[in-house]
Amino acid sequence: MFKSLILIILFLKFCTSLDTLTTNKSIKDGQYLISKDNNFAFGFFSPGNSSYKYLGIWYVKVTQQTVVWVANRNDPLNDSSGVLSINQYGDLVLHYSNNRLLWSTNVSVQDKVITSSVAQLHDSGNLVLIQDNNKKVLWQSFDHPTDTLLPNMKLGLNLMTGINMFLTSWKSKDDPGTGNYSLKINPNGSPQSIVYKGSTPHWRTSPWPWISRTNETYSSGEKYDFVNNKDEIYYAYFVDDPSIMKRVVLDSTGLIQTLVWDDGVHQWKEQWSAPKYRCDKYGQCGSYSKCSPDNVNRFECMCLPGYEPKSPREWDLRNGANGCVRKHLELSVCGNGEGFVKVERLKLPDSSFSAAWTGMGMGRFECEQACLMNCSCTAFTIMNIDGKGTNCLAWYGELMDILEYADEGSDLIVRVDAIELAKYIRKSKGSLSKQRKLAIALVSIVVPMFLVSLLAYIWLAKKKKTKVSFEGHELEDSSTHPDLPIFDLSCIVAATENFSPTNKLGQGGFGSVFKGQLSNGQHIAVKRLSKSSRQGTGEFKNEVMLIAKLQHKNLVKLLGCCIQEDETMLIYEYMPNKSLDSIIFDHTRASFLNWKKRFEIILGIARGILYLHQDSRLKIIHRDLKASNVLLDAEMNPKISDFGLARLFKEDQTQDKTTRVVGTFGYMSPEYVVYGQFSTKSDVFSFDVILLEIVSGKKNCDSYQEHPSQNLIGHSFGYS
């Protein structure tokens, strides 16, 4: 029904559509230019809740209104009397019916030559004005972007024509007027993409050649170009599959997003965005410092080698905006025995004002010598551009907006004074000699002690089971979770805003679950054990022992735990789409869950169960599989959670029995409820119930009018 409605709307649009606009035609409200592949339309529209009329380009096949270009963004029409036509000079002009001009391409004013032009909307979404006699392109919308960068569209500068192609945000979702943010290619030093708020940098990429921090930035089937020559400096991306609708948008808050249309759920899905974390903000730690987003429990700002905080008091208060200054201001760093220290895995400093290429084909030694010869040179890096050999990029002055990555990035060679250089030399050389002396002195003591300790450990391991205590909570077999991170209580309190009720996600017999955000921007879910819950203490021990060992894409990931003072908490990855039951039993949300996605969710749950029963090193029976214990990530991938009631089986064990039946009625198998017997079949029974609920959208505990005593299983299979 929904698809039929869309087809009808498209048909009505085509009834008043044009292929081209010529001098003897015009476009009024309700008329459109349509691209040949029917992907884009050009005409009048009203954004969001606005009553104003604008002239723009939008997607035709997307069910949400998605505008990619606006002509009169700062001069809206207040009624439906607007007319677009081609005037006698070959210009596209927008005016009121009384001929008052609102917008024009303004390409032939200097000539005032009477000519004939044709306007066409290309399949790429580019509106092109062509001179009719020689097919010369007079003007195109791709040269004048608004807030959207489409595939094949350039972001940058044409040095021959002087055209600067950059994005500017809308004021709001209802107002396409020029907003506060812009995304531009800054050509100075080594070119960078920078988001500005007004004229102030807000976020930027590394200097070119750009290094992507994550694999998600450029997905399979997508290519990109960066051209930097005497004629042009620009960035563009291309998508191989024309059926994929992708766009890059700068929104009214300064956020850049790469979005892909998901026709299954009728939504734009975010593929990448920035700025995302605190360290992404331009100059978060000031000058001569680096910002590390992976610092969870400590201040994210660190001074570069040879520098110290400019304002120690502000630094202690975790405010790094003032940055760092040289440690030994009285000591010259020019011709006084200075040298260089390498800092690894960085987003390189801003090259807008102080960086320059010192030479092509230069290695580290040549670049270092060139930097030493210039007293203003503060740092340099070696880059390989397009596989054509190494080149030297040097900074002369302030080093600003440096970000430290965990496993990627570039090396920055920082200039330090003689005192600081001596410290680093002693660290690298002295540590090795100290280690040798220490080894010689202690080897006769350490080796015998080690052998005695090893024999004692083997003997004790045979005598009893090893236990470890986390501040009063005993957990068997400490080897099961040697790398499980322990979070500080103050970190969790800050992340959850002191367990604010607004961050509460849910509650169970164990206690409450809260949403939180760590200092590096990562979202987490915190399961807080109730102080009065005996059930919760048992579940806590069970989850730490079991789930810490499990690694599977369809199992929720345990990030760590916190046991401090009288608090006991488990920290998980945050699932933005919450639990499966919150979608399939909600009529509004369930309407966005098509059959393909439901089938994928069913397969994902099945893979998770198969891993628990057969493919993991441990054979685990979950015992509490239900729709509320299946969480959904941002891409609607299912992840099984809550292992508090899970039981570990031996490899050859097929079933077990308990006198304490726990779980959720409606999901428990009959033999478990009646006799306390459970096995892998118990989880399969629960999975069957979830499958019925996903397909029907009804809860197993619902009753039915014709047979009130029946649940969903009885209703499906016809028994009471």
CA distance 188 to 208: 11
The number of beta carbons lying within 10 Å of the beta carbon of residue 143 is: 15
Strand ranges of the sheet holding 175-186, from the earlier edge strand across to the other edge: 167-172, 175-186, 192-197, 200-204
Which residues of 229-266 form beta strands (DSSP E)? 232-239, 246-250, 256-262
List pLDDT tens digits, range 639-672.
998 887 888 887 778 888 887 777 888 888 888 8
Classify residue 387 as left (phi > 0), alpha (psi -120 to 50) or beta: left
Do the beta carbons of residue 93 and residue 82 sit within 8 Å? no
Classify residue 288 as left (phi > 0), alpha (psi -120 to 50) or beta: left
The number of beta carbons lying within 10 Å of the beta carbon of residue 374 is: 12
- Beta-carbon contacts of residue 103 (< 8 Å; ≥ 6 apart): 55, 71, 72, 75, 93, 94
Give me the phi and psi of 496, to 5 degrees please. -100, 5
Secondary structure element (H or E) that encloses residue 27, with its range: strand 26-28
Per-residue model confidence (pLDDT) at position 512: 86
Q: How far apart are the first and last CA of the chain?
A: 36
Residue 382: C-alpha distances to residues 375, 401, 580, 608, 712 (Å): 19, 19, 50, 46, 66
CA distance 390 to 363: 6
Do the beta carbons of residue 619 and residue 655 sit within 8 Å? no
Residue 538: C-alpha distances to residues 243, 543, 545 (Å): 52, 9, 11
Secondary structure element (H or E) that encloses residue 121, with its range: strand 117-121
What DSSP string runs through 610-663? HIIIIISSSEEE-S---GGGEEE-TT--EEE---TT-EEE-TT--EEE-SS--S
Of residues 271, 619, 596, 573, the one with CA closest to residue 604? 596
Domain 578-720 adopts which CATH fold?
Transferase(Phosphotransferase); domain 1 (1.10.510)
Q: Which two tokens stand for residue 206?
A: 């590394």
CA distance 412 to 269: 35
CA distance 384 to 565: 53
Sign of CA dihedral 371, 377, 381, 386: negative
Q: What is the pTM of this model?
A: 0.60
Per-residue model confidence (pLDDT) at position 102: 92
Helices (H) and strands (E) in the chain, counts: 12, 48
CATH class of 1-144: mainly beta
Do the beta carbons of residue 449 and residue 513 sit within 8 Å? no
CB burial of residue 160 (10 Å; 0-12, 13-18, 19+): exposed
List pLDDT tens digits, range 222-246.
788 899 889 999 999 999 888 899 9
Q: Is 716 helix (H, G, I), strand (E, B) or coil?
A: helix
Same fold, 149-276 and 465-574: no
Give the bridge partners for 360, in sequence order. 391
Residue 459: C-alpha distances to residues 445, 447, 455, 466 (Å): 22, 19, 6, 12
Per-residue model confidence (pLDDT) at position 471: 37
CA distance 343 to 291: 13
CA distance 363 to 371: 12
CA distance 659 to 677: 9
Of residues 602, 607, 623, the one with CA closest to residue 680? 623
CA distance 35 to 143: 18
What DSSP string runs through 507-542? EETTEEEEEEE-TTS-EEEEEEEPTT-HHHHHHHHH
Strand 307-309 and strand 324-326: the pairing is: antiparallel
Report, as ranges of residue numbers, the positions in the chain whose pLDDT lies below 70: 1-18, 108-115, 210-221, 295-297, 359-360, 386-389, 427-483, 509, 531-542, 545, 548, 702-720
CATH number for 465-574 (one of 3.30.200.20, 3.40.50.300, 3.40.5.50, 1.20.1250.20): it is: 3.30.200.20
Do the beta carbons of residue 356 and residue 189 sit within 8 Å? yes
Rg of the chain (C-alpha set): 32
DSSP 304: P
- Beta-carbon contacts of residue 387 (< 8 Å; ≥ 6 apart): none
- Beta-carbon contacts of residue 495 (< 8 Å; ≥ 6 apart): 516, 517, 518, 519, 524, 526
CA distance 391 to 284: 29
CA distance 533 to 501: 20
Residue owning tokens 């993991």: 616
Sign of CA dihedral 373, 375, 380, 386: negative
Per-residue model confidence (pLDDT) at position 576: 87
Amino acid (1-letter code) at residue 249:
V
Do the beta carbons of residue 96 and residue 86 sit within 8 Å? no
Per-residue model confidence (pLDDT) at position 705: 47
Q: Domain limits of the chain?
A: 1-144, 149-276, 280-423, 465-574, 578-720
Per-residue model confidence (pLDDT) at position 6: 45
List pLDDT tens digits, range 315-366.
988 899 999 999 987 777 787 888 999 999 999 999 987 788 776 677 888 8
Do the beta carbons of residue 694 and residue 584 sit within 8 Å? yes
Could you confirm whether domain 149-276 is CATH 2.90.10? yes
The separation between CA 243 and the C-alpha centre of its own chain, rounded to angstroms, equals: 24
Per-residue model confidence (pLDDT) at position 502: 84
Per-residue model confidence (pLDDT) at position 470: 37
Q: Is 691 helix (H, G, I), strand (E, B) or coil?
A: helix
Catalytic residue positions, numbered = 624
CA distance 58 to 433: 69
Of residues 621, 607, 611, the one with CA closest to residue 682? 621
